């Protein structure tokens, strides 16, 4: 079954095909473009360490880092690796594992069909042996050690460990040297069969392609599979943080900081309205045209690397503010003061209108990039939302919605700061 969804405001449309497996395939045709971008993804990330299939009595617990490990191994086959196959088509290929998803992707300016066939082939044909799994342990172990020495990586995960007691979002996506040592071929196959079932996956394509041709290739190449029901374990995460601050020393020229405001998660996922209202608030409070940004810049407490993001996924949510500063604690205090002032006085209509228009414009402009289009479709597919739900919600939220959201979040009592300072 195929449906076409259109947004007349930005003059864009997306075609969605419901495959017999239960998987949705999203295509945005951009015939005026010279390139194409495709993702084959699964709702499986580093936080999925405890799960059970429908009908199972007990949960299965697997080593931390196994989703990332599986991503690495899936490129291999008995006949070589997928990258060498892509080299023949001229496509640029990659993959990534995040906290809640794993995506395999390529971009190309020609030979789309050949590259798409490679993508659908290797993702559906795992090949793991004990020998190749052991070999990968050394490679990923080096990657873990590399990230241990990365100041931006450490400042983030130290913050997550300060915010979260039990949720696995506090664990490095790649796991630890100890956890990956427990991974074997049988565990990889078990996780693959669970999370790489087509009913738990999605395909998103944008660019100089024909939607009907993409759907035809999917019908030809996607393997038959019975849908599965996956239950992810919940984690008893208290509202309180673990500790207020953490600081380590690494060779950096300017101290790095990450400040987080932990939010309660009574439901597994935040709604699109909650996410949009939070984005508007962050633009007002922390954006480059905000009063706080100007004051911090004038005081030479920040530089242009100052930014904020809404960090949210299955069972976790926090507003994060990151940057570089000669005095991170002073930045933290000024941010808390700005939040207190906003909560006292509320967001004004002028602030709201300016921020909403800026966000709507940025969302509309994102459709000039095939990569951005695909990533927006991936987010919609992952959350089972409409492709244009977010941009339409930006148009429909009100000033009162945003002020209500302000009353709900950004509690300094549930915040923490992580700092990486220079070695003496």
Catalytic residues: 71
- Tell whether the torsion through CA atoms of 285, 288, 294 and 298 is positive or negative: positive
Phi, psi of 57 (to 5 degrees): -80, -40
Q: In what order do the strands lie in the sheet with 60-61?
A: 60-61, 50-53, 230-232
Taking the C-alpha atoms of residue 170 and residue 416, their distance in angstroms, rounded to an integer, is: 14
Give the H or E element holding residue 51: strand 50-53
Token digits of residue 170 = 């506090």
CB 183 within 8 A of CB 65: yes
216-254 b/e (C-beta count within 10 Å ≥ 16 → b)? ebbeeebeebeebebebeebebeeebbeebbeeebeeee
Taking the C-alpha atoms of residue 277 and residue 273, their distance in angstroms, rounded to an integer, is: 6
Strands (E), 70-214: 76-77, 80-81, 92-97, 102-108, 201-207
Exposed, middle or buried by CB within 10 Å (0-12, 13-18, 19+), for 127?
middle
- Tell whether the torsion through CA atoms of 387, 388, 391 and 396 is positive or negative: negative
Phi, psi of 30 (to 5 degrees): -130, 75
């Amino acid at each position: 079954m195929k449906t076409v969804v259109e947004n007349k405001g930005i003059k864009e449309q997306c075609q969605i095909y419901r495959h017999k497996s239960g998987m949705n395939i999203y295509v945005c045709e951009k015939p005026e473009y010279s390139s194409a971008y495709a993702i084959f993804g699964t709702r499986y990330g580093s936080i999925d360490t405890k799960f059970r299939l429908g009908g199972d009595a007990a949960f299965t617990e697997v080593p931390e880092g196994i989703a990332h490990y599986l991503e690495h191994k899936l490129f291999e086959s008995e006949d070589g690796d997928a990258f060498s196959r892509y080299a023949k088509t001229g496509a640029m290929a990659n993959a990534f594992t995040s906290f809640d998803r794993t995506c395999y992707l390529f971009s190309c300016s020609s030979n789309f069909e050949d590259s798409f066939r490679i993508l659908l082939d290797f993702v559906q044909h795992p090949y793991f042996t004990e020998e190749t799994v052991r070999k990968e342990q050394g490679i990923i172990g080096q990657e873990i050690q590399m990230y241990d020495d990365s100041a931006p990586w450490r400042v983030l995960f130290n913050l997550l460990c300060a915010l979260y007691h039990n949720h696995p979002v506090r664990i490095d996506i790649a796991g630890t040297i100890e956890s990956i040592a427990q991974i074997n071929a049988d565990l990889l196959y078990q996780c693959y069969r669970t999370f790489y079932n087509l009913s738990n996956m999605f395909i998103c394509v944008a660019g100089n392609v024909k939607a009907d041709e993409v759907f035809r290739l999917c019908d030809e190449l996607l393997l038959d599979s019975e849908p599965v029901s996956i239950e992810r374990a919940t984690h008893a995460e208290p509202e309180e943080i673990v500790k207020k601050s953490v600081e380590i020393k690494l060779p950096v020229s300017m101290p790095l900081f990450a400040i987080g405001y932990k939010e309660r998660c009574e439901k597994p996922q935040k709604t699109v309205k909650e996410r949009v209202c939070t984005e508007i608030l962050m633009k007002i409070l922390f954006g480059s045209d905000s009063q706080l940004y100007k004051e911090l810049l004038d005081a030479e407490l920040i530089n242009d690397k100052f930014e904020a993001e809404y960090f949210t996924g299955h069972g976790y949510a926090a507003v994060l503010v990151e940057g570089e500063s000669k005095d991170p604690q002073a930045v933290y205090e000024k941010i808390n003061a700005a939040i207190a002032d906003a909560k006292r006085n509320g967001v004004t209509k002028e602030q709201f209108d300016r921020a909403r228009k800026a966000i709507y414009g940025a969302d509309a402009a994102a459709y000039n990039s095939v990569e951005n289009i695909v990533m927006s479709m991936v987010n919609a597919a992952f959350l089972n939302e409409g492709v244009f739900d977010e941009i339409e919600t930006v148009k429909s939220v009100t000033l009162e919605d945003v002020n209500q959201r302000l009353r709900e979040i950004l509690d300094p009592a549930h915040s923490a700061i992580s700092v990486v300072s220079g070695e003496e």
